[in-house]
Amino acid sequence: MSLVDRLKVRFALLLLLWLAKDSTQLMSTTVKLNSERLAGSGGVVRIGHLQPNNPNIAHEPEILKMCARDLKERKILPINYTLTVITMESCNKFSGVEHAAYLHYIKNATIYFGPGCNNEMLVIGKLAPRWNVPIIAHMSGDDALSDRTVFPTLGSVALTSASEMARATLTFLQLNNWDEVGFVRTSVNYDRLSMQSLRNILKKREIKVNIEIEFDPFASAEEIISSGKLKLLKSSARIVIVEMGMDIHTATNFMLAVHRSDMKTEEFVYIIPWLAHMNDHYPWEATTVDKQEVKAAFENVIIITAHGYDKKFFDEFQLKFSQATGILSSHYATLSYMSLYDALFLYGLALRDAYEDLGGYDVHQNGSFIWSKMTNRQFIGATGQVLMNNKAIRVPSYATYHTTNGTLRIVVELEAKNADRALCEKNPEQCSEHVAHEVIQFYWSSSTGQLPKAVPPCGYTGSLCDYTTYFILLGITAFLVTIAPLSYFVYIKQKERLLYDMTWRIPRDSVRLMDSNKSRSEHSLASKSQSSGSFSGSLGSKQLISAKQATSNGVRLAIKRFQQMRNITFPKSELKLLKELKLTENENLNKFYGICFNQQNEFIVLWLFCTRGSLEDILFNEELKLGRNFQVAFAKDVVKGLSFLHNSPLLIHGLLCLQNCLVDSNWTVKLTNFGTEAIISEKLYHNEIKLIVEEGEDDSDRLADRKYVQQAPEIIRELVTRKTMPPGTQPADIYSLGMVLYQILFRVQPFHERGKSIAKLMEMISMSNDDDQLIRPTFPSSQGTESYNLQARFLPMN
């Protein structure tokens, strides 16, 4: 007879024994076996261990023996009680059923642990109450096993409880007020998953399952996309519960598929129940996948798993088992061993309580009473807190994790609690509950940080919204996007046109030059006499106003006249400067009149004429005696004018000197030639214009002009080397201001005490370097300390 036939015969015999209740032979056999067991067991509990035919968890007997020693050492077991472990195979063609009967009738086993397979547990679980023997499962099983009318002596400490995972998932859904969900599950072996229980629970709680789709557990991401089912999911749900297997790794291909299908926006919430931790790494840490893509696929996902899988518990137990047996167990085996340890520990506690209640060393043979001591209790086991409900089923506490950049953080704790006994008796389904505790709020990757609603505002397909308003707004936006650049372009062109309008350009025909000798005689300082407390003496003088003059439309002007060598164009920067010059007005600034160019081969710069000439004409007229009030007034006017320039769009003067400080008929000082000197210098440098030399003048004397020695050393250095005026700066203006104030206060020229020519002084200043001491004007000793202190504040160090 073959092995298969023998197994069939044995199984048939067991079924016959079970069904033949009234058989005299069965009764006599049972009485005989029971009498043998009562006579021989004493204080010895024979543990029937039905070990699964799985080499990955081959060390379960060592776990039971280690736990038995712990119970003995911790004095949890009653005195003189001994636990003996008898291990036999299960989960191999119903071998566990046969061995369970053998352990009961031959070995007098009074407690079973295992088997690790659902099909054998369904049979042995029904036999155990007939033998009055409790059986404790430590692995996940069918939902039917929770029916205590069929399995009255069955207990379970499994962390992978499908029914409790379903209840925990319901608690999280209710916390977020979601009343519509979608299911994604595997097409095979889904009877052990939580989705079976969850479907029934949601129906009772009036939470609608809009769609339920299934995929082959080995389908690739491409196959899932090509199936077209994701489009159905997108049009039916936003809260999606994904359970492709007991381990989170089974959901990898599905998450890749939704990631590639752009279904990972903030309005989609994917909830993955993680029943069993088969691997010691996350899916995105596997070596056989594109880690970055898988990490992105699992980004912003909700994962629910039991608290007993905490790494702290795992590490402590793995170390304890290794030290006790010398065996280093795998990740999966260690998790299985931890639950098995808790199963025997639960039995030890129940045996102790039963012994204390009834006494006697045969109390362990009262299986139903032992089972009752397993209900409604809690203890700290290898997997943390173990809470048993009224059905002797463990109610795990769960943690809800949110994935962010490859890391998991707890956002909601789902704490397990037993309900009131009275409430439990009224409704057995309410004997335990999960209480939600929010650890982190506003963690979702949305603008508000809040989780989305179950149904989007416009529905799953957008059909609930009227988009007319949006289309109108879109049209207006498109119009504005088009018209705004066009308007800006027109604005820029208009500004350019205004620039090129050149309101400052003066026709050459409107300018009439005045004879030099005549203009000098007419505007000699000898035209008036005055005397006052601040100013005294005759104004008659040989000192003449040296500015070249002209008139235009009846306005008297001071001019600078150059020969134009070729046609002149102004860059945009100079056009902006000239426009700003034309608009600038201040009581201490002379008014820019305009420029003549590209006519009669002349380039003429025109400013309003000031009747009293420059400060140089006033200060160095020996016949004029100026009082302190005049000097202070002159100094204040210069400072106010320069301050206005520095705070205006012009920013700088560029060539501040005594010669560019004019005095009008009211004795008000006005700064002139600001801005235009840079343009003139640029044109001279590029040979676009050439200075017109009057009779008796020498072009070589231009660089030796007294106004240049009043400039900052860095300006003079470039002026000497390049023979042209460099662009000015505000610090250079402040240096020149110091020179101007020096001359106003002391009425002497800078460096007069050295007796050098202007050209020599400029050479000395330009040749100095950082190691040399720069030459500086000296302060006349005859002046008071008040003048010296004021001048020292205005003359900066270079």
Write out pLDDT tens, residues 723-754.
888 889 999 999 999 999 999 998 888 888 88
**Percent over 70 (pLDDT), the chain:** 86
Distance (Å, whole) CA 785 – CA 778: 14
Instruction: Return the minimum-mean-pLDDT range out of 266-280, 302-316, 494-508, 725-739.
Output: 494-508
CATH number for the domain running over 163-323+409-438:
3.40.50.2300
Q: Is 618 helix (H, G, I), strand (E, B) or coil?
A: helix
Tell me the pLDDT tens digit for each residue of 503-528: 899 999 999 998 765 555 444 443 44
Cα(690)–Cα(603) distance, rounded to whole angstroms? 9
Domain formed by 502-794, architecture: Orthogonal Bundle (1.10)
Report the 10 Å Cβ neighbour count for 510: 13
Three-state SS for 680-705 is HHHHHHCCCEEECCCCCCCHHHHHHC
Calculate what percentage of the chain has a pLDDT beyond 90.
57
State pLDDT tens for residues 395-415: 999 999 999 999 999 999 999
Per-residue pLDDT tens for 534-592?
A: 445 444 444 445 678 999 999 999 999 999 999 998 998 899 999 999 999 999 999 99
Query: Three-state SS string across 227-243, please?
Result: CCHHHHHHCCCCEEEEE
Q: How far is CA 99 from CA 105, 488, 512, 515, in A?
A: 10, 91, 130, 136
> What confidence score (pLDDT) does residue 22 get?
39
The mean per-residue pLDDT over the stretch 656-675 comes to 94
Mean pLDDT of 7-16: 44
Alpha helices, H only, 162-286: 162-175, 194-204, 221-226, 229-234, 252-260
> Are the C-beta atoms of 160 and 399 separated by less than 8 Å?
no
pLDDT at 488: 81
- pLDDT confidence band for 276 (50 / 70 / 90): confident
Q: How far is CA 100 from the centre of its chain?
A: 60
Helix (H) or strand (E) holding 40: helix 24-41
Cis peptide before 115 (omega within 30 of 0): yes
- 753: buried, middle or exposed (CB in 10 Å: 19+, 13-18, 0-12)? exposed
What is the predicted pLDDT for the residue at 27? Answer: 36
Q: Select from 3.40.50.2300, 3.90.550.10, 3.30.1360.70, 1.10.30.50 the CATH code of 3-160+325-392.
A: 3.40.50.2300
CATH 3.40.50.2300 in the chain, residue ranges: 3-160+325-392, 163-323+409-438
pLDDT of residue 759: 85
pTM over 0.75: no
Q: Round the average pLDDT of the chain to a whole number and report it.
A: 85
Distance in angstroms (rounded) separating the CA atoms of residues 145 and 631 = 111
What average pLDDT does this structure show over 5-27? Answer: 42
Q: Which helix (H) or strand (E) holds 560?
A: strand 555-564
pLDDT confidence of 498, banded at 50, 70, 90? low
The CA–CA distances, whole Å, from 720 to 518, 678, 688, 751 equal 35, 16, 20, 18
d(CA 220, CA 212): 19
Kindly report, residue by residue over 50-99, the tens digit of the pLDDT. 999 999 999 999 999 999 999 999 999 988 899 999 999 999 999 999 99
The torsion angles phi and psi of 42, rounded to 5 degrees, stand at: 60, -125
Each residue's pLDDT tens digit, 364-382: 999 999 999 999 999 999 9
How far, in Å, are 717, 760, 768, 774, 797 from residue 771 at the CA level? 16, 20, 8, 9, 14
